[in-house]
Structure formats: structure tokens, C-alpha cells
């Protein structure tokens, strides 16, 4: 009986991150990689780690304006991520479409298909801004767990 709250306490320390590229130009993806891999920014101080499989993820970072071709794949992958999940939209593309707004090839804003929790605007956002977004997402995630 006493073990269950302890597990919860341990689990809330380390959310795993998962990236979805919904037709991004790769600018935001490079910044996300920078956030995690370069010791200068080091998102792992917050207990986060990038994982390769959507089934292990807790926090999802989505970049790109959701192009028409990639829509089905993104929605299928998003369904595979177990609840509770927190979604972070990185860059202006998933939030509003950015410069691709009102194009026939993109379905932005992405929040009409996927529930988004935190927005990090920028083209691309600074690594520090992504860290701020992840920190905000962790707060929301702890409330949900």
C-alpha cells in the first residue's frame, strides 16, 4: 500500500519527451535537438529525456504546420502516446501556421486536430524558450498525473 504514492513521486520527476515533426522546415527540430544535446542548454537537468518510441512518452513536442500528407501519420502516432500526455507546440507553425497560414497544403492551426497545452512561439524559438515551455508543460503534467 505504501509503495504506490512513492512510485508516483518518483515518476513525476522524469517526464520523457517525444518529438513529432508535422511537416516542419527543420528549424525548430534543430533547436529542439540543441536544447537536449548541447551541454550549454541541457534539458536533462529538468529530468527530461528524449525517447524513440511514442509509447514511452509523457510530453510531446510538435513542430511544423501539419501538412495534408503527414496528417494521418501524425494523428496515428499521437493516439499511440499514453495518457496523461502534455502537448507543446514549438514554433509559430503549429500555433497559427506562421508564413504558411491559409495555404492549401497545410492544416494549421494544429489545435483543431490535436489538443495543445503549451505554445512556444518563435521562428524558431530560442532553446531557452523551449526549456521554458517544457518547464511549463512539466507543471501541467504533474497536475494531471
Residue 95's SS3 state is: helix
Q: Using CB under 8 A, which of the segments 4-12, 14-22, 42-50, 56-64 binds other proteins?
A: 42-50
Exactly one of 12, 21, 34, 96 binds other proteins (CB under 8 A); that residue is 96
Residue 19's SS3 state is: strand
Q: Are strands 49-50 and 59-63 parallel, antiparallel or unpaired?
A: unpaired
**Closer to other proteins by Cβ: residue 56 or 99:** 99
Q: Using CB under 8 A, which of the segments 4-12, 16-24, 51-59, 96-104 binds other proteins?
A: 96-104
Exactly one of 15, 98, 107, 141 binds other proteins (CB under 8 A); that residue is 98
- Interface with other proteins, residue 62, by CB under 8 A: no
CA–CA separation, 19 and 46 (whole Å) = 17
Q: Is 112 exposed, middle or buried (0-12, 13-18, 19+ CB in 10 A)?
A: exposed
Q: Using CB under 8 A, which of the segments 18-26, 53-61, 77-85, 87-95 binds other proteins?
A: 87-95
- Interface with other proteins, residue 117, by CB under 8 A: yes
CA–CA separation, 118 and 35 (whole Å) = 17
Q: Is 39 exposed, middle or buried (0-12, 13-18, 19+ CB in 10 A)?
A: exposed
Residues binding other proteins (CB under 8 A): 39-42, 45-46, 89, 92, 95-99, 101, 111, 116-123, 125-126, 128-129, 131-133, 135-136, 140
Amino acid at each position: 500500500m505504501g509503495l504506490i504514492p512513492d512510485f508516483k513521486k518518483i515518476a513525476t520527476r522524469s517526464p520523457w519527451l517525444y518529438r513529432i515533426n508535422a511537416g516542419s522546415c527543420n528549424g525548430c527540430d534543430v533547436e529542439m535537438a540543441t536544447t537536449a544535446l548541447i551541454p550549454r542548454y541541457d534539458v536533462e537537468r529538468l529530468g527530461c529525456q528524449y525517447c524513440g518510441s511514442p509509447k514511452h512518452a509523457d510530453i510531446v513536442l510538435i513542430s511544423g504546420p501539419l501538412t495534408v500528407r503527414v496528417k494521418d501519420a501524425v494523428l496515428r502516432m499521437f493516439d499511440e502516446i499514453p495518457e496523461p500526455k502534455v502537448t507543446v507546440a514549438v514554433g509559430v507553425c503549429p500555433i497559427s501556421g506562421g508564413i504558411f497560414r491559409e495555404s492549401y497544403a497545410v492544416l494549421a492551426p494544429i489545435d483543431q486536430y490535436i489538443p495543445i497545452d503549451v505554445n512556444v512561439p518563435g521562428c524558431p524559438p530560442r532553446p531557452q524558450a523551449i526549456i521554458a515551455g517544457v518547464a511549463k508543460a512539466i507543471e501541467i503534467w504533474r497536475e494531471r498525473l
